[in-house]
């Protein structure tokens, strides 16, 4: 079933993000970004748990596949980050760019799954997916705030 395959991809993506966000928090230069990425790792852990509950509600299994889109975005993110000098605000700007690429994929995935779930009519599963979507939108907005208030002005000073 298409919905379950998409849900399995998102589950795989969230599991990857748990590790990826934690690693990026170590690479981040500013404390604000370090904290935001640590938080994002914890949020991804809660998303994994919610998705496991959704699978149970639907009497399905999460599977052990890999989300090819997240794998590709993660590789691209690593390439972007490697091109910028360590310990700079510009590096943090690159990290935010990379993390938001992934966040936007997850936002669109959760939104699409919620609309598809309407066809299945499982209110409990829908509530769980809506919480994940809300978390993603909040995290994206917070990263934008950190970028505009702290990172980008500092990066501009470094390069200017």
Task: With beta carbons less than 8 A apart as the criterion, state whether 12 and 66 touch.
Answer: yes
User: What's the total number of domains in the chain?
Assistant: 1
pTM, rounded to two decimals: 0.91
Distances (CA, A) of 157 to 10, 123, 160: 38, 50, 5
**Structure confidence by residue, pLDDT tens digits, 73-128:** 888 888 888 888 989 999 999 999 999 999 999 999 999 999 988 767 788 999 99
Structural domain range at position 25: 2-159
CATH of the domain at 70: 1.20.1260.10
84-112: string of b/e by CB count within 10 Å (b at 16+)? Answer: beeebbbbbbbbbebbbebbebbbebbee
**Structure confidence by residue, pLDDT tens digits, 107-121:** 999 999 999 887 677
């Amino acid at each position: 079933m298409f919905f379950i395959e998409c849900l399995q991809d998102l589950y795989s993506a969230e599991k990857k993000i748990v590790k990826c966000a934690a690693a990026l928090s170590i690479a981040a230069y500013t404390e604000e970004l370090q904290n935001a990425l640590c938080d994002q790792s914890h949020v991804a852990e809660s998303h994994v748990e919610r998705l496991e509950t959704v699978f149970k509600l639907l009497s399905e299994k999460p599977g052990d596949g890999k989300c090819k889109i997240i794998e590709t975005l993660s590789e691209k993110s690593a390439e972007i980050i490697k091109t910028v000098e360590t310990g700079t605000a510009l590096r943090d700007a690159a990290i935010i760019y990379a993390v938001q690429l992934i966040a936007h994929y997850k936002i669109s995935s959760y939104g699409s799954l919620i609309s598809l779930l309407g066809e299945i009519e499982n209110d409990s599963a829908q509530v769980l997916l809506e919480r994940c979507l809300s978390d993603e939108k909040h995290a994206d907005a917070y990263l934008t705030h950190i970028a505009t208030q702290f990172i980008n002005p500092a990066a501009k000073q470094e390069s200017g």
